[in-house]
A and B are shown apart, each in its own frame.
Chain A
């Protein structure tokens, strides 16, 4: 029996509606279906995948002395093209590389020598600090702030310094019982006592100076002539009590004379603010300096 076909004016909206309903399918079911489909295709994938591999040399990642550069991740999954075999290969090789890297770092830890009994070189010691994870990122008054999962109960205090991978990331601006907020180096209100690493000139590093697409810090220096040059490192001077001296803040990008005895340096922060996932909050105690007070009679 011949049936009349469904008219397209009904079929097309129906198919679009059906497609919209596909968005309701849980991701776990889709992943399961994807896995089953790939399993069904696996004999073919293995056969042709082996052919593909024999043509292209694969990077050797095992038993090498010098750590090999990480392999290139395959191109991001282009819509509509299945590239799962390459992705799986990449993940496998990346796993092996990370394991060997972890082993190497374990051996390099202080107090753990290598298999031959040689003592490993000691890593530079960080000031006393506690680790914290970034749990939130928010723009407050158009400035990026990060929420951390450590608060006053864990020993975090207001204005404490925050490090990321050994470089200064910012300062604590708000403390709750079990969480705190850190303002990053480029925050407009940031102010850190700093020093140029080579010329030893002191100044104050402040946030927010837009240089094209990049957000830089500015360092105000008082002096008639300064010998700062682009590329020079900027470190903490330790005068503000929040940071010990010598922590890396950034790199000088340019220097500009603002007045007779006023210079302004553009400083690129050492810490990539967009890639901060975990930090160290400094918990060192600030020594009380017994500054002499002015005698009462002189004040009058």
Chain B
């Protein structure tokens, strides 16, 4: 139940941010693909099963609102997530915000490169220079917004109890350490 609620909130929040807020307030060059960033954050912080379902669901929303062929972007998301998990699952799932950020950037680059390759294979005409430049801009936008998105996603999961147990332990330990430091400073 909790997982379903969390998934729905992440799905609709991503749709609104991607479709409404970013086009209205952010210049085109700085509009990231929020779906893959949130999906990679979910993969980094939540249990593996929830993360993978999240990747699939957010890939669906990206397909629905921004893909030329339904299913192509979802497949790219899933393969990019699989590739990143295969390459760096230990670093990614440690619970660090930095790892989720870097994962989001790498996911953006890999997923969209795969998308271009699949689109080319399925017969669409791709101008590689312009397409790779778009991927580069998306990756740069992911650098700018990725940390904020990963942080927001992590805080939401922390509040709703969707974090993976080791990540939750890690974050709780950090909070306890920070509180102890604050008390120490207060005592002088």
Contact = CB atoms under 8 A, between A and B. Distances in A.
Interface of A: 5-6, 8, 11-12, 15-16, 18-20, 22-23, 25, 27, 30, 33-34, 37-38, 41, 44-45, 48-49, 51-52, 75-86
Contacts of B76: 79
Contacts of B138: 78, 80-81
B49 A82 contact: no
Given A48-B21, A49-B23, 19 more contacts: A6-B49, A12-B82, A15-B52, A15-B55, A15-B56, A15-B78, A19-B75, A22-B74, A37-B15, A41-B19, A44-B16, A45-B19, A52-B25, A76-B134, A79-B62, A79-B66, A79-B67, A80-B66, A84-B19
A11 B49 contact: yes
B70 interface: yes
Contact of B64 (A23, A37, A52, A85): A37
A77 B18 contact: no
A8 B85 CA distance: 11
B59 interface: yes
Contacts of A34: 64-65
Contacts of A78: 31, 33, 66, 134, 138
A23 to B, nearest CB: 5
Given A16-B75, A34-B64, A52-B24, A80 B49 contact: no
Interface string B3-47: 000000000000110111111110010010101100000000001
Interface in B65-102: 65-76, 78-79, 82
B52 A8 contact: yes
Given A19-B78, A45-B20, A81 B64 contact: no
A298 B130 CA distance: 70
A287 to B, nearest CB: 46
Given A19-B78, A75-B28, A77-B66, A82 B48 contact: no
B24 A49 contact: yes
Contacts of A80: 18, 33, 35-36, 62, 66-67, 73, 111-112, 138
Contacts, number: 122
Interface range on chain B (Cβ under 8 Å from partner): 35 or more
A5 B47 contact: yes
Interface of B, helix, strand, loop or mixed by DSSP: helix
A194 to B, nearest CB: 34
B140 interface: no
A49 B20 CA distance: 8
A8 B134 CA distance: 32
Contact of B71 (A25, A45, A75): A25
A38 B55 CA distance: 22
B132 interface: no
A5 B138 CA distance: 34
